[in-house]
Structure 1
C-alpha cells in the first residue's frame, strides 16, 4: 500500500510479535473492555486511572499497565535495573520530514501509515497498522540512515520505547516521535474500525481523529491510558 492499508510487496503478512501484556490484549481485542472494577496495575494490582502509563518488560517484550505510584518509581532509571523501561510521554512533530518534498517511498516508507522502532544496537523494527494487526516490512538500514540524516532529532529516539510514526495516506504528510503505546493504539483503532475488503467508512475518520488529537496530547504530555477508548485520541 502506498496510501491505504493493504499489504505492500515483501511484507510479512503474519502479525508482528509483541509487545504483549497490556497492549497485546488491545491488539487482539481492538478495544480494552474493563470489568466493573476497572483496570489494575500489572505490578501491584492497584486501580489505574484511564490516563495510566505503560512499562516495557524487556524479558518478554511485553507492555504493562502502571498505577501512578509505580510509574513514579520507574521514572527513575535506577528502579528499572536493566529489566524494565518506562514508556515516555513526549510527542514531537518531526518538521524536517514534514517539509521534505520527496516521495515517502524514497525515504523507505512504502505505506500510508507506518512506524519504526529503533533498537539498542542501531537495528530498527518497521511495522504498519493493517486489518490483521501490526504487519512488518523490512526497512533497509540505508533508508533509516537517510531518515536520520534528514531529521537529526530521530537519533535521540529512546530505543525500544519510542517510534517514528508516519502518516502519508491520502495526501497527508505528518511525521511524529511518539511513545510505542501510541503506535499500538493506532493498530487497535484500525483493526476495530476496518470493515469489508476496502476498510469501509469508519477507518479513515478514526485515523484522522487520532492524528488530529496528537498536537494537544503533545502539549499535555498525556499518557496513553486505555487504547481505543471512546473520546480519546486514538504487534
Structure 2
C-alpha cells in the first residue's frame, strides 16, 4: 500500500471516529483539538482537515504527505488596495488561490457554498508582478481575500482555512434571496476580527 493510501485510510478512520463521538478531533490521530488548531489542506480532495499540534509537525516544511497534504500556514497580511478587476471576477467578496500546477482559482461565497471560477493565469502573473507579496504566496494554502462590498476595501493574504470559515459563516447567516439582515453585518464583523500575524 502506498504512503498516500495508508495516510488517507488513517484520515478517514479518524474522521469516522470523530463524527461518532461528536467532538472536534484531529483527523489523523483522533485526539481532541483546541478551538484554534492547525489545518492540513488535502490537495487530492480540495478540502481542509483539522489536525492536532503534534500531527501538524509531521507536515511542516513539506515533511510528510508527499505533497498531497500541506500544512496551512497561519500568516495573515493586510495589503493596500489591489486592482483585482484585471482578473475578470465580477464579485466584490472573493478569494483567489494560486495553485501548485500554475492555475489560479477564484471563489466567492453564496448561500449554497462557494462559487468557483478559473482565473487567467497570465493576468494573475501580471498582477503579482505589480504586487510582489502576491508572488510570494504559498500555493494551495494561502489566498488573496478581497471584500469591496458595501463600501469596504479589504485586501488580505490569509490561510485558506480563513476563507472556508468565511464561507461557512455566510451559509449559516444567509436568509432569503438577498441574504437578509444578518449576513452582511456578520461578514463585516469577520473582517474587523482579522488580525495580522506571521
Paired residues of 2:104 and 2:118 also in contact (CA < 8 A): no
Whether 1:72 and 2:45 are equivalent positions in the alignment is no
Query: Does the 8 Å CA contact 1:54/1:66 hold for their aligned counterparts?
Result: yes
Give the equivalent residue in structure 2 for 1:43: 28
Whole-angstrom distance in 2 between the partners of 1:210 and 1:188: 11
User: What is the TM-score when the length of structure 2 is the normalising length?
Assistant: 0.83
* In 2, Cα distance between equivalents of 1:120 and 1:132: 27
Structure 2 counterpart of 1:63, from 35, 48, 55: 48
The aligned counterpart of 1:193 is 173
Aligned equivalent of 2:94: 114
1:35: how far off?
8.3
Question: What is the aligned partner in structure 2 of residue 5 from structure 1?
Answer: none
Task: State the Cα deviation string for residues 154-205 of structure 1 (Å, max 9, x = none).
Answer: 0111111111111111121111111111111111111111111111110111
In structure 2, distance between residues paired with 1:136 and 1:79: 29
In the TM superposition, residue 94 of structure 1 has moved relative to its aligned partner by 1.8
Tell me the CA shift for residue 122 of structure 1. 1.8
Deviation at 1:44, TM superposition (A): 0.3
Structure 2 CA distance for aligned equivalents of residues 153 and 63 of structure 1: 23
Matched, 1:85 2:65: no
Q: CA RMSD in A?
A: 2.4
Query: Which fold has the larger relative contact order, with Cα–Cα distance below 8 Å and residues 6 or more apart in sequence?
Result: 1
Distance 1:46 1:197, change over 3 A: same
SS in structure 2 at match of 1:81: helix
TM-score, structure 1 normalization: 0.70
Name which of 206, 213, 220 aligns with 2:193.
213
Query: Is this contact kept in 2: 1:107–1:146, CA < 8 A?
Result: no
**Structure 2 residues without counterparts, runs of 5 or longer:** 1-10
Q: How does 1:1-235 map to 2 (within 5 A)?
A: 38-95=23-80, 98=81, 104-215=84-195, 218-219=196-197
- Return closer, same or farther for 1:174/1:129 CA change in 2, 3 Å cut-off: same
| Residue aligning to 1:231 | none
Structure 1 or 2: more helix by fraction = 2
> How far 1:60 sits from its partner (Å)?
2.6
